[in-house]
Amino acid sequence: MSALFDRLSEDARARLRRRAQPRWIDPALATLVHEPFSAADWLFEPKLDGERCLIFKRGGEVRILSRNRKDLGDTYPELVRAVAEQPGEDLVLDGEIVAFRGGVSSFARLQQRMQAGPGAASGPRVPVRCYVFDVLHAAGHDVTPLPLRERKKLLPGALDLRDPLRRTPYVNSRGEDYHARACRSGWEGVLAKDATSAYARGRSRTWLKFKCVNNQEVVIGGFTEPTGSRPALGALLIGYYEDRRLVYGGKVGTGFDDATLRDLRRRLDELERSRSPFAGDVDERRAHWVAPRLVAEVAFTEWTDDGKLRHPSYHGLRRDKDPAEVVREIPA
C-alpha cells in the first residue's frame, strides 16, 4: 500500500478498497442554512466565489472538469501544467478555481478569464488559483468512504501545494466565530462540513453553507431593448425552476459594463424564440424571449412575497451549472 496512506488512522486504512480511477464522480453539494453554528465534529471553510472543478490525473493525462463535466483545460492551461508536474500518478481532487480582487475571491473578475475561451492565457491576464479541499481517489484506491477528516490528511502528501495550487484553509468546531470573521472580511460566506462523514455525492446535509451576502443562480429567459444611451440590451428577464416549470423571478438591469451588455446581446440573439419560456404571463413590454440555456449569478437584497428578487445585480454567467438544476435557494 502506498506510503501516502501512512497518515491515516488504522480504522481508515481498513476502509480503503482498490479501485480503478473513475472517469467521473458526481461532486458533493452544500445545502443552504440560515444560522451559523459551532460543533465539535464539523470543519468550517471559506466559501469561495469561483468555478467548482474536479481534477483527474492518471499518469501523464490531466483533466480538469466543471461540475457539469465541461472541460476547463483550455481556459486554465497553467492549472493543467501544475497538476501534470505533481509526483502522484493516480489522483482525483475536488477544488474551486478563483480569481481575486482586493484580497477577496471575485466571480466577476474570474468571468473575464472564463469568457476568453480557448487560449485564455493569451487573453485577459487574470491570474487564477485552484484551492483544493478534498481527495476522492489516490494511488489506486477509492477514498470517498473515508471520513472527511481522514481525507484531509491525504492532501499534504498528494500535492506539492505551490501556486497556482493551494490548499483550502479550515478551522475546527468554531463555526460562528469563523462566519463573523468571513463577513467582516467581505467573503461570500462559510461552508460547514461534517468531519465524520464520507463523501456524499450530490446535495446533502453533511455539507452546509451559510452566506454573508445573498447570491442566487438564475436562468435567463428573455431580455428587453435598451433605452437612452445604454447599448445592446436593457435588462435580463430571469427565473428559476419549480416543479419543472420556469418561474419568472423578475429582471436585472444593473451590474453590467458596455462590453458585457454587447456580449450578452450577441449570445442571446442566437437563442431568441417567439414564445416565452416562463410559466404564466410576464408583463414586460418590448420583451425578447430566448431558449432558457444560460445561467447567470446575481446578488440581491431579499425575496419578495411573490417570489421575485429585490434589487438584483448581475455578477456573470455560470457555464458550470445546468439550467434545469437552478431552483430558488431558501435557507433550510
Cell 478555481 belongs to residue: 97
In whole angstroms, give the CA distance from residue 95 to residue 164. 12
What is the number of alpha carbons within 13 Å of residue 36 lying toward its C-beta? Answer: 22
| CA distances (Å), origin 263, targets 191, 292, 304 | 33, 17, 30
The residue annotated as part of the active site, out of 47, 152, 209, 321, is 47
Q: Pairing mode, if any, of strands 28-32 and 202-211?
A: parallel
CA 123, 127, 130: angle at the middle one, nearest 5? 120
Residue of 320, 8, 313 whose CA lies nearest to 151: 8
Cβ contact 164:82 at 8 Å: yes
In whole angstroms, give the CA distance from residue 58 to residue 39. 37
Burial of 222 (0-12, 13-18, 19+ CB in 10 A): buried
**Whether 70 is catalytic:** no
Which residues are marked as active site?
47
